Structure 1
Amino acid sequence: MKNILVMHTGGTISMSENAQGVVTTNDTNPMSNIEIIQSIANITEKHPFQIPSPHMTLKHMNILRKSIINEIYEENYDGIVITHGTDTLEETAYFLDLTLNVSIPVILTGAMRSSNEIGADGLYNYISAIRTACHDDAKNKGVLVVFNDEIHTAMNVTKTHTSNTSTFQSPNYGPLGIITKNNIYFHHHPLTHPPLVKVNEAIKVGLVKAHSDLDSNLIKFFADQEYDGLVIEALGQGNLPPSSLDGIQYLIDKNIPIVIVSRCFNGIASGNYQYEGGGYELQKMGLIFSNGLNGQKARLKLIVAISNGLNDALLDDYFKR
């Protein structure tokens, strides 16, 4: 049997519902020491921390990354499974995808229903993640998310529903693979890139969603508060209201990088419109257009880029990947 390292970090998958219908944390993780798992793989369990995923910080993500590096240096594991709360699961998955230099499968999973609710999905997702981590075809595919019989890449997956068990989807791309009762099938091989391994936890990058009448003072706030970068979820294909442009220029004058993504659920931001605030004009000003990321992931990517000293053309190239 394969040797699988499991890192439990908390989240709904580790919680229970009480008599009043309120979901609370447990003293012990209900996913620990499950007998059926022992028939699938040799499991080593670690608990680097136990938190709800809205409490997840860059520091926690980096602790998890360092723990994984230390564990695989000391032991010969065939794969890694991380149980995680769903609210920020995609962020942790993508951060690890950007910064982990491993070839073995790294799988994140969780649950939309706590362990004792009717229709609880945690154990099934956990077993599916273990099975995927044991599968030879899961190697060299970057960090993956396994949920509801589907396998998604960390780059493309996002939480799309507040409570539905099929919440994790990959808009534009669909799942990388599927899980059946008897097998695991990968449809294609994702593009992968060398990781950047330096992480400076002190780097601050803000995130703003554009809207009509977006105020320049909101943009300027991030420079005044000494942020190191800003990501803007722009309108449509990557456009901004003229009312925001003074703020944009204010950051540019202070050499603060600005990355543009779209606030749209599908599609990719691109500099096509040549009018005041249009994407074409924003690119001329020096703003960086990201290749299909959502705002929360672009924020993490910019943190990693700044941590590794990328700027100007190198930064632009990094966000085109």
Structure 2
Amino acid sequence: MKKLIIIHTGGTISMLENKDTGEVNTTEDHPLSNIPYNFRTNVIIDEHIAFSLPSPHITPNHMLELAKSIDKFLIEYDGIVVTHGTDTLEETAYFLDLVLDTEKPVILTGAMRSSNEIGSDALYNLISSIRVVLSPDAYSKGVLVVMNDEIHSAINVTKTSTSNIATFQSPQYGPIGIITKESIIFHHQLVARTTYPVENISKQVFLLKAYAGMDNKLFEIIHDGHPDGLVIEGLGQGNLPKETIPSIRKLINENIPIVLVSRSFRGTVGPTYAYEGGGRQLKDMGVIFTNGLTGPKARLKLLIALENTTDHMVLRDIFEKEF
């Protein structure tokens, strides 16, 4: 007999719509407790409320607290489903993927429509997630996100629409599996995964998105804030306006690591262009390039990495060689 636990953290999946005002808000009792579904197998399902927070209120310290709880629960349980608000679900999923060293399935799911809205996806996504956890094929896949009949790896998934129930996509490589009425089907998986267990999150890392006409003003403000690290969503394959270069050089000279990603959905950054502000110059200056992460995920990875090392060469290896 398998034992699973559902950990609730809040979000739309735990909310209800006010039929008079149309507002969606929290409720005292979780609307999805005591799931009315027969899983056709011997399974015990327990529940635990970790937080009752809309996901914009979730911080990296909440993520770390959740990770520590999951570590303890995994001693007793065969798998875990975490319900979470969708706005930052991909960040929590990736954070957990980075810090949890387990082969047991850990699934995050949420809902775009609360339980009492017409066309709600709340109960369906929760049931689908439990079905995935029960699948023997879900082991050794890292942390997964299950939404809308699809299974995504935490490293690749991102929210692509503000309201569509098919919002979670993996633009680079697609979902790693699908859910049918009868089956859980995995059709590919990541070739490698590295974890970085941490006890604290104490660093300050900022995230900037590049834009046409960007100059040094924002970089100077960040410099004055004494950051431990900076992630920049660059243009195209990893380029920046030339006016930003003096400030970037100053930050690097003060041993503040700068990680570069692309603001584009697909592709990776690389030292392709040699003009001023181009990827080649940034690489030569000491900017660290990523392996295809989004800005928010690269920020979390840098936060975690800095708890273990400030060595620039080690950080470079973590972002450029490891997954």
Kindly state the Cα deviation for residue 294 of structure 1 after the two structures are TM-superposed. Answer: 0.4
Q: Say whether the 8 Å CA contact 1:218–1:247 is kept in structure 2.
A: no
Return 5+ residue gaps in structure 1 as ranges. none
Kindly state the Cα deviation for residue 64 of structure 1 after the two structures are TM-superposed. Answer: 0.2
Kindly state the Cα deviation for residue 39 of structure 1 after the two structures are TM-superposed. Answer: 5.3
After superposition, the C-alpha distances for 1:171-218 in whole angstroms (9 at most, x for unaligned) are 120000000000010001213323111143221100000011212121
After superposition, the C-alpha distances for 1:5-48 in whole angstroms (9 at most, x for unaligned) are 11100000000110211101110111111231675531111111
Q: What amino acid is aligned across from residue 275 of structure 1 in structure 2?
A: Y
Q: Distance in 2 between matches of 1:59 and 1:207?
A: 17
Q: Is 1:303 matched up with 2:298? A: no
Percentage identity across paired residues of the two chains: 56
After superposition, the C-alpha distances for 1:112-137 in whole angstroms (9 at most, x for unaligned) are 00110000001000000000011111
Give 1:35's aligned residue: 36
Q: Say whether the 8 Å CA contact 1:213–1:244 is kept in structure 2.
A: no
TM-score, normalized by length of structure 2? 0.96
Give 1:221's aligned residue: 221
**Poorly superposed stretches of 4+, deviation over 6 Å:** none
Q: Distance in 2 between matches of 1:91 and 1:132?
A: 21
Q: Secondary structure at the match of 2:37?
A: helix
Give 2:50's aligned residue: 48
Give 2:141's aligned residue: 141
Q: Is 1:83 matched up with 2:83? A: yes
Give 2:194's aligned residue: 194
Q: What amino acid is aligned across from residue 67 of structure 1 in structure 2?
A: S
Change in CA separation of 1:192 and 1:44 when aligned onto 2, cut-off 3 Å: farther
Q: Distance in 2 between matches of 1:43 and 1:187?
A: 27
Q: Distance in 2 between matches of 1:132 and 1:224?
A: 47
Give 2:157's aligned residue: 157
TM-score, normalized by length of structure 1? 0.97
User: 1:50-65 residue pairs with structure 2 within 5 A?
Assistant: 50-65=52-67
Give 2:206's aligned residue: 206
Q: Say whether the 8 Å CA contact 2:64–2:200 is kept in structure 1.
A: no
Q: Say whether the 8 Å CA contact 1:220–1:248 is kept in structure 2.
A: no
Kindly state the Cα deviation for residue 300 of structure 1 after the two structures are TM-superposed. Answer: 0.2
Q: Distance in 2 between matches of 1:234 and 1:268?
A: 11
User: 1:263-302 residue pairs with structure 2 within 5 A?
Assistant: 263-302=263-302
Q: Say whether the 8 Å CA contact 2:172–2:265 is kept in structure 1.
A: no
Report the count of equivalent residues: 319
After superposition, the C-alpha distances for 1:154-186 in whole angstroms (9 at most, x for unaligned) are 000000000000000001200000000000100
Q: Say whether the 8 Å CA contact 1:231–1:259 is kept in structure 2.
A: yes
Moved more, 120-129 or 30-39: 30-39
Q: 2:70 aligns with which of 61, 68, 74?
A: 68
Q: Distance in 1 between matches of 2:277 and 2:131?
A: 49
After superposition, the C-alpha distances for 1:90-133 in whole angstroms (9 at most, x for unaligned) are 00000000000111000000000011000000100000000001
Q: Say whether the 8 Å CA contact 1:220–1:250 is kept in structure 2.
A: no
Q: Secondary structure at the match of 2:64?
A: helix
Q: Say whether the 8 Å CA contact 1:220–1:251 is kept in structure 2.
A: no
Q: Is 1:20 matched up with 2:21? A: yes
Change in CA separation of 1:158 and 1:37 when aligned onto 2, cut-off 3 Å: farther
Cα-Cα RMSD = 1.2
